[in-house]
Amino acid sequence: MTLARTWAVALTGVHGRLVRVEADITDGLPGFAIVGLPDTAVVESRDRARAAVLNSGEPCPSRRITLNLSPASVPKRGSAYDLAVAITVLAAAGAVPPDSLVDLVVIGELGLDGRVRPVPGVLPIVLAVAHAGLGTVVVPSGNGAEAQLVDSLEVRTVGSLGELVAGLRGQRWTGPLGYRSGPEPGWGHGAGEPLALPGPPPDLADVAGQAVARRALEVAAAGGHHLFLLGPPGVGKTMLAERLPGLLPRLRRDEALEVSAIHSVAGTLPSDRPLVDRAPYASPHHTASVSALVGGGSGLARPGACSLAHRGVLFLDEAPEFARPALDGLRQPLESGRVVLSRAQGTVVYPAMFQLVLAANPCPCGAAAAACTCTPDSRRRYLARLSGPLLDRVDLRVELGAPSRSELLADLGVAEPTQLVAARVAEARDRARRALADSGYQTRAGMPGVQLRRHWRPEPRALVLVEVALARGRLTARGADRVLRVAWTLADLAGRGRPGVAEVGEALALRIGGPVPSHGAA
């Protein structure tokens, strides 16, 4: 037989599309042509495949080989097609039964010696295969644990082209077999066992003093709100940001697969822990470019830090030192929860529903107020690097000062640990999820302003506080909506069915400054 077919997958962002790989061998001058809109890496797969076939002890046809990747209108990129190219050519030459490839999806990069190397993006590839209804996928051994996260799919792992050829000839597969007949409880990773949890997150009790900032961190975690921390160096801004992921609930299975797929495409998924089941944390350096922060690169754009922080925390330390275009590039993701990157080669959409934490010194010198030598004008210019439209999207703003000795002694041994605060956060999120069940939203921060004003109004006396702040120009219309969202989060934390004066007052204080009322106040 001179014609054989198998399947591969073309990735566009985190979305995969099946690609039929067809090989035809005919008489004529020896040659190897690949058609179907391949990029340079795919065209070069013919040379890697030829060398791998010969070094695996298999004959490579010295005839005219035409390999088609269909549909031809879909761009094909990367080295993940190598193994499919090689095995389809061998099937067309009669070295393996062509029927064994009909419903098989083959993924992997080949070395010249025939070894199969891992490739990025295997998890979204396997998710696309499962969605298409094909039952078996072959992946590199290095991607085995990642591929076996997907239910109802048979996963064959191979370490070399020779192993795949032997398996298709009916010999025993030397690589492990992962198969799951259906959804199972727990997280699972091929054998159905839960993945080992990483070490405990940093403890909130380590942050001495800063009671208002710790309260703001709890509110941010409970409602999914963005946070701005302003204060001199050494007051605990970074410590607070690092402890926010530990307060967030563990990701559900569908959320964990979504987050893991992004990290798989980016090539940052650990091989020993392929499922990201806790809120991710990204903290790029202040020299990061727009592409590094939002996404970009040559060819189709790759995910940036805001997508790697999807369903987690994006922390920008020394925020005024970031380039203005990079910061302003976050405006749309903060509103829509996704990044749309358009390039000449196509458009890619990445999820980017993250919690933003900004940290800044009050002036360029960063010294305490008593030792600061900056002029008022230089302080204003420094903080003006954070644009008004960006800060208007931040719900909580806290100014931190150096804690006094009495505050440090008062917190010694009695500051609440992460575990206790996280339990309150989980209860508040459960209340919000039940209340918002019919709307499709899961956190208070995601409630649309129109629905908020129509169906989620606080007590009339409490609403007067917001109206006064609007009339005095201390709030924009968007800021008023954000205050109401925070007030509802505070009501969830307090177990109240509706925000009152105390909740709205505290929400205003956390938004525009001023003394924060005790959260136990009626």
Residue-wise pLDDT for 95-108, tens only, equals: 999 998 989 999 99
Q: Determine the average pLDDT of the residues in 435-456.
A: 82
Q: What is the structure's pLDDT at 177?
A: 46
Q: Is the pLDDT of residue 184 over 50?
A: no
d(CA 68, CA 19): 10
**pLDDT class of 179 with cuts at 50, 70, 90:** very low
Q: What is the structure's pLDDT at 492?
A: 94
Q: Is the pLDDT of residue 199 over 80?
A: no
Percent of the chain with pLDDT over 70: 90
d(CA 431, CA 452): 16
More confident residue, 146 or 199: 146
Q: Which of 175-184, 195-204, 349-358, 469-478 has the lowest mean pLDDT?
A: 175-184
Q: What is the structure's pLDDT at 183?
A: 32
Q: Residue 163 is encoded by which pair of tokens?
A: 């192993």
Q: What is the structure's pLDDT at 1?
A: 56
Q: What is the structure's pLDDT at 446?
A: 86
Q: What is the structure's pLDDT at 409?
A: 67
Q: Is the pLDDT of residue 178 over 70?
A: no
Sequence spans of domains, the chain: 3-179, 196-247+279-418, 447-522
Q: Of 3.75.10.20, 1.10.30.50, 3.40.309.10, 3.40.50.300, which CATH number belongs to 196-247+279-418?
A: 3.40.50.300
CATH number of 3-179: 3.30.230.10
Q: Is the pLDDT of residue 187 over 60?
A: no
pTM score: 0.88
d(CA 178, CA 374): 63
224-258 per-residue burial string, b: 16 or more CB within 10 A, e: under 16: bbbbbbbbbeebbbbbbbbbbbbbbbebebebbbb
State pLDDT tens for residues 455-479. 888 888 888 998 898 888 888 888 8
State pLDDT tens for residues 371-417. 788 888 998 999 999 998 899 899 999 999 887 777 676 666 677 89
Burial class (CB within 10 angstroms; exposed 0-12, middle 13-18, buried 19+) of 331: middle
- Contacts with 451 (C-beta within 8 Å, 6 or more apart), sequence order: 439
Q: Determine the average pLDDT of the residues in 217-228.
A: 96
Mean pLDDT of the chain: 87
CB of 478 within 8 A of CB of 449?
A: yes
